[in-house]
Amino acid sequence: MELHGVTWELVDIDGERAAQGRATIEFTDDGRVFGSASLNRLMGSYEATDEAVSLGPLATTLMAGPPDVMDQEQRYLAALSGTLRVQLDDAGLELQGRDHVLRFTRASVTV
């Protein structure tokens, strides 16, 4: 499974379109993960198999913002906990936990 080398941008959480802020995640080939939770940066470690990824513990910066963006950020971070089943294809990345499903697309690069 090749998760690393791509910036993944959140499309939706549990089928609800991610509209507030820009949530991303990147996996490095040495077991580190980082990105944006919407307002705050996230960082931590991960372990991956062919079918699943386990993140954590994750740390974040502590900026505050509008309530709707903070709500999305908290839902995103909660969904990234535990072991997540991975589905990776040309359409993007899906991470499915026991209670949540996150869908990502490859982030567009702006210069």
- Give tens-digit pLDDT for 27-80: 999 999 999 999 999 999 999 998 999 998 899 999 999 998 899 999 999 999
The token pair that represents 42 in the structure block: 């996230």
Please report, for residues 2, 16, 19, the alpha-carbon distance to residue 53 in angstroms, rounded to integers and kept in the order given.
Answer: 11, 22, 25
> 7-106: what fold?
Lipocalin (2.40.128)
CA dihedral sign of residues 48, 52, 54, 58 = positive
pTM of the complete model: 0.88
Give the 3-state secondary structure of residue 105: strand
E strand map for the chain: 7-13, 16-17, 24-27, 32-36, 41-48, 52-60, 83-89, 92-96, 101-106
| Domain ranges (residues) in the chain | 7-106
